[in-house]
């Protein structure tokens, strides 16, 4: 998930989050130094992978926290930073699972260690395996860091317990979503639209939207109905966001989205868009192109035309809008104060604009 | 590391640890159930991988805690269980890194999912990848569980912070050790004996001995000199244990150790034994056999003879005894009460007996 259009939210406090992350990386590097100098590279590699992100999950924590009246920015920044480290952990491990060595056009953790190994004369398969091994370890460190940051955020005992519970649920949801995703990729049959929506909710929306919003609300001392409403908001806007992301993955302009619009088709990524298209007669003529590692631009254009002609693009855009509307509804809940509605409304608008 | 001869320690309280682990697995399974029925399999698979172990790390926590006067068995059992879950997480991820699908003669997490996938008609390379993907996720859940258990152990605020610090250090040490181990395996040159001792300390001894002993001591409210002495004890006995384990991996009787004595030689496992042998002229004649995937019993016997003739076996056994003696010395420290010395002495004896 990319989020360059959601950077309108809660930006003012982000420097504090980066300070917390810097602090965590410095402590981790100092600890690593005690274990030998080579090992510091893992921390540096994690740090590079965390740098320059849009801090989308921290924004959700801070938006909920501050709009609900929270004033202890130090505590909130630590919880916010925990969700950024969780994100780092999950994408590093997701890249291992997807055998990806590149993220956003640059080598990821696996990629940089693969490259170090090939430079040292290690043959490619071994070098790739080394990259993935280091990434398994690096992801573990980031995951441990997320727990540590929540643990030491400085919240009172009861709040801390609830924050850890929310974090735990988010980790489990992401694991369940990853499991479902791996499962889909092994079967010839296309999963249903509902199965894909559920997978995307678990794998990404939960830890990216629901959990950080609820963590910010709990930290601000919000009431249960408010926390619940933010959960419903987060779930629905998160699903909407993922559906739009999948549509852009196929129909987005590369110059605007910054990523190839052939990649998802070439790797056979199972999305709402494709699940719907696969139920239509137009799919029969292009079925063989989908997931073909040798797919070229012409083939991709034929696939895109068939998907559009089948009505799947429109279906996916309407489905995203439907989830965005449910997110609006959750914001309209009486338990959500106007300040929070104002803070989060741009998120919905940003997602809806992406559907156009 | 196997530990069937160290089960003399702190066995009385282990049923409480198993109750805590059962509780964690039940909560995890209930949570998983909310995410869909299939996903419960990951928890079941983790549970199978955790069942039947010797609970060696929990024993260390409890031995330190009770012998230092701790009486709140519920708190101690939760911290002890955390170290068992950490062990599960690390071996599940270590198996991913080593591409192992079997542990102790039975399918591990990767292996059981690979087998499910092949049964469902998935071709082997894809099925193996699926198994490893699920194991990445499963290890994450166990690691998160370890943090959660320490967090909710019920220790006071200050103690909890110190316990999390010890856990964090253990995770980082294991990561650094795994990193070093991956690094060794990629190079043609044999690492030095010192490098291997350091790797084994970081990868296994720290989280298996040092950290659980110190956690038990901190929880019991021990003084810093006592905690330090137990750390020194744990480090040295842990290293001794690993060296003996490596000797047994090559010279142990399969009927006694329960594992093949060809496996380590066939996979080219770099140990103190081998690092020393490789510096001796006897190695030249057998060098080509070491790490040969096709190594047979005759070849293994030739390698064993050369290692023994080179003096490496004696060297490794003396080195283990030396570390065990340092462990004795740490126990003799005035800061270690007699009750703790009595509780831990059998550990040293068990390790020394293994050297014979």
The whole-number pLDDT of residue B2 equals: 42
Q: What mean pLDDT is reported for chain A?
A: 91
Distance from CA of A35 to the nearest CA of B (A): 7
The whole-number pLDDT of residue A8 equals: 59
Q: Report how far residue B148's alpha carbon sits from residue A151's, in angstroms, rounded to the nearest whole number.
A: 10
Inter-chain CB proximity A93 and B137 less than 8 Å: yes
Residue whose token pair is 């549509």: A247
Inter-chain CB proximity A140 and B144 less than 8 Å: no
Which of the residues B142, B153, B174, B176 would you substitute to probe the A interface, choosing the one with the greatest number of A C-beta atoms within 10 Å? B176
DSSP A220: T
Distance from CA of A93 to the nearest CA of B (A): 7
Q: Report how far residue A177's alpha carbon sits from residue A184's, in angstroms, rounded to the nearest whole number.
A: 11
Which of the residues B25, B41, B147, B170 would you substitute to probe the A interface, choosing the one with the greatest number of A C-beta atoms within 10 Å? B147
Tokens of A229: 């409403």
DSSP A191: P
Distance from CA of A81 to the nearest CA of B (A): 17
For B198, which residue in chain A has the nearest alpha carbon? A35
| B positions 107-126 inside 8 Å of A (CB) | 117, 120, 122, 126
Tokens of A230: 């933010």
pLDDT bracket for residue B123 (50, 70, 90)? confident
The C-alpha torsion from B109 through B113 and B115 to B118, rounded to 10°, is -160
Q: Which chain B residues have a beta carbon less than 8 Å from that of A152?
A: 161, 164
Given a cut of 50, whether residue B168 has pLDDT beyond it is yes
Q: Which chain B residues have a beta carbon less than 8 Å from that of A143?
A: 140, 143-144
pLDDT bracket for residue B258 (50, 70, 90)? low
Given a cut of 80, whether residue A256 has pLDDT beyond it is no
Distance from CA of B131 to the nearest CA of A (A): 10
Fold (topology level) of A223-356: Farnesyl Diphosphate Synthase (1.10.600)
B42, B120, B152: residue with CB nearest A179: B42
B120, B141, B179: residue with CB nearest A134: B179
Q: Report how far residue B330's alpha carbon sits from residue B344's, in angstroms, rounded to the nearest whole number.
A: 11
For B161, which residue in chain A has the nearest alpha carbon? A152
Inter-chain CB proximity A172 and B35 less than 8 Å: yes
The whole-number pLDDT of residue B53 equals: 81
Tokens of B117: 């996938």
Looking at chain A, the domain(s) classified CATH 1.10.600.10 span 1-222, 223-356
| A positions 325-354 inside 8 Å of B (CB) | none
Q: Report how far residue B312's alpha carbon sits from residue B323's, in angstroms, rounded to the nearest whole number.
A: 16
CATH architecture of residue range(s) A1-222: Orthogonal Bundle (1.10)
Q: Does B28 touch chain A (CB under 8 A)?
A: yes
The predicted model gives B271-283 an average pLDDT of: 95
The whole-number pLDDT of residue A356 equals: 44
The whole-number pLDDT of residue A5 equals: 52
Inter-chain CB proximity B32 and A186 less than 8 Å: no
The predicted model gives B154-166 an average pLDDT of: 94
The whole-number pLDDT of residue A1 equals: 41
Q: What is the pLDDT of residues A286-333, one digit of tens each?
A: 999 998 989 999 999 999 999 999 999 999 999 999 999 999 999 999
| B positions 195-254 inside 8 Å of A (CB) | 198, 202
Q: What is the pLDDT of residues A293-302, one digit of tens each?
A: 899 999 999 9
Q: Does B93 touch chain A (CB under 8 A)?
A: yes
SS3 A106: strand
Q: What is the pLDDT of residues B39-95, one digit of tens each?
A: 888 899 999 988 878 899 999 999 999 999 999 999 999 999 999 999 999 999 999
The whole-number pLDDT of residue B356 equals: 44
Given a cut of 70, whether residue B22 has pLDDT beyond it is yes
For B167, which residue in chain A has the nearest alpha carbon? A144
pLDDT bracket for residue B209 (50, 70, 90)? very high
Q: ∠ at Cα B15 (B10, B18), nearest 5°?
A: 110
In chain B, the percentage of residues whose pLDDT exceeds 90 is 69
Inter-chain CB proximity B151 and A151 less than 8 Å: yes
Q: Count chain A–chain B contacts defined by CB atoms under 8 A.
A: 153
Inter-chain CB proximity A136 and B136 less than 8 Å: yes
A161, A164, A175: residue with CB nearest B137: A175
Distance from CA of A351 to the nearest CA of B (A): 25
The predicted model gives A160-165 an average pLDDT of: 95
Given a cut of 90, whether residue B230 has pLDDT beyond it is yes
Q: ∠ at Cα A291 (A285, A297), nearest 5°?
A: 75
Give the C-alpha distances (Å, rounded to integers) separating B274 from B249, B318, B342. 11, 15, 35
Tokens of A212: 């950080």
Q: What is the pLDDT of residues B188-197, one digit of tens each?
A: 788 999 999 9
The predicted model gives A154-160 an average pLDDT of: 94
The predicted model gives A9-24 an average pLDDT of: 89
Q: Report how far residue A86's alpha carbon sits from residue A204's, in angstroms, rounded to the nearest whole number.
A: 11
Distance from CA of B305 to the nearest CA of A (A): 31
The whole-number pLDDT of residue A325 equals: 94
Which stretch of A78-82, A93-97, A182-186, A235-239 has the lowest confidence by average pLDDT? A182-186
- H or E stretch at A107: strand A106-107
**What DSSP letter does each residue of A164-202 carry, written as one string?**
HHHHHHHHHHHHHHHHHHHHHHH-SSPPPHHHHHHHHII
SS3 A100: coil
């Amino acid at each position: 998930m990319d989020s360059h259009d959601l950077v309108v939210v809660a930006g003012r406090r982000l420097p504090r989050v980066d300070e917390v992350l810097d602090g965590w990386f410095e402590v981790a590097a100092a600890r690593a130094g005690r274990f030998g100098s080579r090992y510091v590279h893992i921390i540096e590699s994690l740090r590079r992978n965390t740098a320059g992100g849009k801090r989308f999950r921290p924004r959700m924590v801070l938006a909920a926290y501050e709009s609900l009246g929270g004033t202890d920015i130090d505590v909130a920044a630590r919880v916010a930073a925990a969700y950024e480290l969780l994100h780092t952990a999950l994408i590093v491990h997701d890249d291992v699972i997807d055998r990806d060595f590149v993220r956003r056009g640059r080598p990821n953790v696996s990629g940089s260690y693969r490259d170090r190994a090939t430079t040292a004369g290690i043959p490619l398969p071994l070098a790739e395996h080394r990259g993935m091994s280091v990434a398994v370890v690096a992801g573990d460190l980031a995951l441990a860091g997320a727990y540590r940051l929540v643990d030491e955020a400085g919240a009172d005992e009861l709040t801390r317990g609830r924050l850890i519970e929310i974090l735990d649920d988010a980790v489990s949801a992401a694991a369940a979503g990853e499991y479902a995703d791996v499962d889909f990729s092994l079967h010839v049959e296309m999963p249903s639209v509902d199965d894909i929506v559920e997978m995307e909710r678990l794998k990404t929306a939960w830890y990216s939207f629901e959990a950080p919003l609820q963590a910010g609300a709990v930290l601000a001392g919000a009431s249960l109905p408010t926390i619940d409403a933010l959960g419903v908001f987060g779930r629905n806007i998160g699903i909407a966001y993922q559906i739009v992301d999948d549509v852009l993955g196929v129909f987005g302009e590369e110059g605007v989205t910054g990523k190839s619009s052939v990649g998802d088709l070439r790797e056979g990524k199972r999305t709402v868009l494709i699940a719907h298209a696969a139920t239509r007669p137009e799919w029969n003529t292009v079925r063989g192109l989908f997931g073909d590692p040798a797919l070229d631009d012409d083939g991709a254009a034929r696939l895109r035309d068939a998907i559009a002609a089948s009505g799947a693009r429109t279906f996916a855009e309407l489905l995203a809008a439907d989830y965005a509307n449910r997110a609006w509804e959750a914001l309209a809940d009486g338990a959500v104060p106007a300040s929070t509605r104002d803070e989060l409304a741009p998120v919905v608008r940003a997602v809806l604009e992406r559907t156009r």
